Structure 1
């Protein structure tokens, strides 16, 4: 009996949805038409195509991380990949090499748990294994251990190279510093003269205000910002307004005195310094003194008007306020040499001085400014000198900005002539837009610079007007609270030097402070007479 035997239908293979993940640690070469990420993906797609008979198919979604390290999981494409795995969209992950997915054994173990939980296999094209088998998982762990070992060796070599470079005084890379440019021909710092003037002005501002916040506010008023530079790809970086933290980093950077730092070591650098070492050291001393309060005003419990101002000449150190109480009620205030407190009273001829006596003398000298024409003329001469320095500083910045504008306008005209109808002008148009934005920013800054120059020139006070304004200081002083009096003293007096051996007291005034107070008193006087 004949039977018709029908061929059985082949069982339909389940579809294995494959996602190809690619990664490159740096951005170098990614702008090319066919880059490393494309090569990795092409290899992955070819491997998936070779397994088509097993039901494998490559998903169109690209998971490319260009410019991301494999030492952590903070990668956008990797996060999308894990999210799609948890959503059940992927059955297999394909990579060119194991270390493309991760160089951290701990991170990889965490990802493998996610893969196992959602029954997703993992395949490396060049290392010929599949985690669907026990042998594949064993080989994977061995390879990953070597990948992590390689990453740690590279990190150690990099740290050793940086250490050797710093110890030789060379620039070891990082963000450029305000006041310097990075020489592209040799990896070293060269002085940017226009910015160097600004850096020195910032140090002088801190020496004047002795606190971070007032300097930050002054820098904001002037429109000064952190270092602005252009990357090799033409991208603008930096140019952020100063904050207390960024200002502190600038003021403590030993690069400004021609040094380089590596951890706790300081070495002579190849680059020249742009800040006077004595000024740099004075700033460090002030920052250390203000360390606990980060430059904020310290409460003056007993009204010591000269706190932080008076110094002992023989010991070249500060004199600090102190007091004693007699009969349980009456308090006697003194300024005491801090060196004598530490080393013994016999080491210092100044030792101490009654606070009321020295404060009365200083206040009396301030009152004399409006009466002593010689002293007034000297103070105004110093103020004019500072105004002249400020004007020169602004004019130097103005010349630098004009130079940038001339260069950018020339480039703008040149690029405009290169535009051709019908051609791909994308890169030229992008550069033109970038130039227009830069020109607009610089022109805005130039307007502010011109306004600041005009303001400095308009604020010049003549001797007669200052004398009249300061003549009303006496009655105003008596009406101030102790806290307000201390603030005014800090505004007017830069330092008081006391020499106990000769009994001599020297006062150094803040010309800008006296000018500001005289301007304020003059304005008040005009308002009352108006």
Structure 2
């Protein structure tokens, strides 16, 4: 490159390093592109060219070159507009930008119009001395090469991430509230004991009927740090688009995001958003069916039954009363059997101040398009108590029935599939045993030598051992299925005591009851969440000749 001794250029040195300059796992930075290496090359270049007066470093560390939305790049261009810079020096063109069109526009047009000298050291390009072929042919080709490199890197990184997601590896920068990354493997989540306790409390409060706003207020009043503030306290450089200025507090939106996230049940659901392209930062939300979802990847904080019950409550519009922190017992659970609309609660006062609570169809109450379907709360509670008492006896029957089924060939649906697998494995085992037996005759007939005989025998023996182990595992699974029967996941003795003395609470209701339907004639239909399992128990009991003490309901 030639030097222009007639002018001293106030020179900005621009350095950039991005994740794209590391390997596809984002682990090892390329030494040739490190900030230190770029700085050294540029400083040595300025020392050899006295016409270039150093005006400052502009360093974007951790920013992609596929666009120009970089803080230090913007600051440098602002200084160009302010007349503080006459020249820009970079290690090579890729450090300035990898996006072909915009990079070319800056070099061939913008800088030329503003009188800015541009130097890419390793590309041996200097706008002061470059001829037309370099500017209009060589540099566009280099820019195109850099553009293709960015696309290839983006494709490789995305492919690597998809493989990890399909394996159930966590690929996020920060673990969600309630978890932390394992020290042994950053792709594995383990519960954060303190935060996990808060998550459990949030789910428990929602089961009790507290709204998301009430839960957030409760946490703020108790001085519990919000997820963002908690991560900062742990020393993490955490930021989120949901967070506003100042100290972040619990909000209804934060609580709802936690309540809806199935990660707390041990499920890893990732790939929910995807970038428009490698050149554009904007992300779009993928349809749920396109998410990468893997079950049992980490320890659950919330059991599946609790999670499902909460989702049901979130979907239903539970009408709250202004002066009550919690909804009424049957809010969001009781519906008209004929029109499907919710029933509304009315409290009427009779002689001597006697209060009676009734439920009537909301469709009738609003526009008289249905009948009243009136039901007294006391009558409703007694009916539900009777239903749940019967349900407990059925669960107890199921435990006893499971012992009977251990000695029978009856299967549950999943057990049947395992049984079929065992049948196929037995066929495979027979094949290896037959092959092993034929080896003696083959050796005797001279078809194989003794070395081959020993090798084949060992191979067939090992394969047979593996198949036998697989059969034993399948049989264990079937035994587990029979042993479990159906289970409510609760203490049956505790439930019996509570129901026998006429106690029923909202947590019990939303855990066991899907909905309560009130018919026109006053009949009460309690739809239980385990009705399919209960029906299966009844069928198995009939086939097994097992007499059930509980009456099948729901």
TM range (shorter): 0.5 to 0.7
Query: Which residue is 1:161 aligned to?
Result: 160
- Tell me, in whole angstroms, the C-alpha distance in 2 between the residues paired with 1:288 and 1:106: 48
What pairs up with 1:484-499 in 2 under 5 angstroms? Answer: 497=516
- Tell me, in whole angstroms, the C-alpha distance in 1 between the residues paired with 2:101 and 2:320: 49
What pairs up with 1:197-276 in 2 under 5 angstroms? Answer: 197-209=197-209, 211-227=211-227, 228-229=230-231, 235=236, 237=238, 240-262=248-270, 263=272, 264=288, 265=291, 266-276=293-303
Structure-2 change in CA distance of 1:19 and 1:196 (3 Å)? closer
- Tell me, in whole angstroms, the C-alpha distance in 2 between the residues paired with 1:177 and 1:241: 16
- Is 2:6 the partner of 1:13? yes
Per-residue deviation, 1:504: 5.5
Query: Which residue is 1:77 aligned to?
Result: 72
Contact 2:17 2:33 (8 Å CA) reproduced: no
How many residue pairs were aligned?
333
Which of 313, 316, 340 is the equivalent residue of 1:286?
Answer: 313
Query: Which residue is 2:404 aligned to?
Result: none
Structure-2 change in CA distance of 1:306 and 1:276 (3 Å)? closer
Structure-2 change in CA distance of 1:67 and 1:236 (3 Å)? closer
Contact 1:20 1:93 (8 Å CA) reproduced: yes
Structure-2 change in CA distance of 1:311 and 1:274 (3 Å)? same
Contact 1:45 1:58 (8 Å CA) reproduced: no
Structure-2 change in CA distance of 1:171 and 1:353 (3 Å)? farther
Contact 2:15 2:95 (8 Å CA) reproduced: yes
- Is 2:342 the partner of 1:320? yes
Partner SS, residue 215 of structure 1: helix
- Is 2:158 the partner of 1:123? no
Structure-2 change in CA distance of 1:42 and 1:310 (3 Å)? closer
- Tell me, in whole angstroms, the C-alpha distance in 1 between the residues paired with 2:226 and 2:115: 51
- Tell me, in whole angstroms, the C-alpha distance in 1 between the residues paired with 2:372 and 2:98: 69
Structure-2 change in CA distance of 1:172 and 1:29 (3 Å)? closer
- Is 2:79 the partner of 1:108? no
Query: Which residue is 1:277 aligned to?
Result: 304
Structure-2 change in CA distance of 1:29 and 1:318 (3 Å)? same
Partner SS, residue 309 of structure 2: helix
Structure-2 change in CA distance of 1:207 and 1:318 (3 Å)? farther
Contact 2:335 2:361 (8 Å CA) reproduced: no
Structure-2 change in CA distance of 1:288 and 1:334 (3 Å)? closer
Contact 1:229 1:237 (8 Å CA) reproduced: yes
- Is 2:67 the partner of 1:68? no
Provide, for residues 116-145 of structure 1, a one-character-per-residue CA deviation record: whole Å limited to 9, x for no partner: 221112111111112343223232221122
Query: Which residue is 1:185 aligned to?
Result: 184
- Tell me, in whole angstroms, the C-alpha distance in 2 between the residues paired with 1:80 and 1:183: 39
Per-residue deviation, 1:231: 10
Structure-2 change in CA distance of 1:45 and 1:147 (3 Å)? same
- Tell me, in whole angstroms, the C-alpha distance in 1 between the residues paired with 2:117 and 2:162: 43
- Tell me, in whole angstroms, the C-alpha distance in 2 between the residues paired with 1:306 and 1:319: 18
- Tell me, in whole angstroms, the C-alpha distance in 2 between the residues paired with 1:189 and 1:67: 25
Query: Which residue is 2:376 aligned to?
Result: 358
- Tell me, in whole angstroms, the C-alpha distance in 1 between the residues paired with 2:518 and 2:157: 54
What pairs up with 1:468-479 in 2 under 5 angstroms? Answer: none
Contact 1:310 1:319 (8 Å CA) reproduced: no
What pairs up with 1:362-381 in 2 under 5 angstroms? Answer: none
- Tell me, in whole angstroms, the C-alpha distance in 1 between the residues paired with 2:43 and 2:27: 21
Q: Which moved more, 1:40-49 or 1:214-223?
A: 40-49
Query: Which residue is 1:48 aligned to?
Result: 46
- Tell me, in whole angstroms, the C-alpha distance in 2 between the residues paired with 1:283 and 1:200: 12
Q: TM-score, normalised by structure 1?
A: 0.53
Contact 2:375 2:518 (8 Å CA) reproduced: no
Partner SS, residue 275 of structure 1: coil
Provide, for residues 124-171 of structure 1, a one-character-per-residue CA deviation record: whole Å limited to 9, x for no partner: 111111234322323222112221222222222222222222222222
Partner SS, residue 95 of structure 2: helix
Per-residue deviation, 1:47: 2.3
Contact 2:90 2:119 (8 Å CA) reproduced: yes
Structure-2 change in CA distance of 1:12 and 1:220 (3 Å)? closer
- Tell me, in whole angstroms, the C-alpha distance in 1 between the residues paired with 2:155 and 2:233: 27
Per-residue deviation, 1:505: 8.7
Query: Which residue is 1:97 aligned to?
Result: 92
- Tell me, in whole angstroms, the C-alpha distance in 2 between the residues paired with 1:198 and 1:305: 25
Partner SS, residue 59 of structure 1: strand
Contact 1:84 1:90 (8 Å CA) reproduced: yes
Contact 1:170 1:269 (8 Å CA) reproduced: no
Per-residue deviation, 1:313: 12
Structure-2 change in CA distance of 1:195 and 1:176 (3 Å)? same
Provide, for residues 454-498 of structure 1, a one-character-per-residue CA deviation record: whole Å limited to 9, x for no partner: xxxxxxxxxxxxxxxxxxxxxxxxxxxxxxxxxxx999x989945
- Tell me, in whole angstroms, the C-alpha distance in 1 between the residues paired with 2:374 and 2:260: 37
Provide, for residues 301-349 of structure 1, a one-character-per-residue CA deviation record: whole Å limited to 9, x for no partner: xxx999844436999x986249xxxxxxxxx95368xxxxxxxxxxxxx
Provide, for residues 362-414 of structure 1, a one-character-per-residue CA deviation record: whole Å limited to 9, x for no partner: 7999xxxxxxxxxxxxxxxxxxxxxxxxxxxxxxxxxxxxxxxxxxxxxxxxx
Contact 2:118 2:127 (8 Å CA) reproduced: yes
Per-residue deviation, 1:255: 1.0
Contact 1:40 1:96 (8 Å CA) reproduced: yes
Partner SS, residue 342 of structure 2: strand
User: Gaps spanning 5+ residues in structure 2: where?
Assistant: 240-246, 273-287, 345-358, 364-369, 384-504, 527-554
- Tell me, in whole angstroms, the C-alpha distance in 1 between the residues paired with 2:48 and 2:165: 52
Structure-2 change in CA distance of 1:66 and 1:319 (3 Å)? same
Contact 1:257 1:273 (8 Å CA) reproduced: yes
Query: Which residue is 1:195 aligned to?
Result: 195
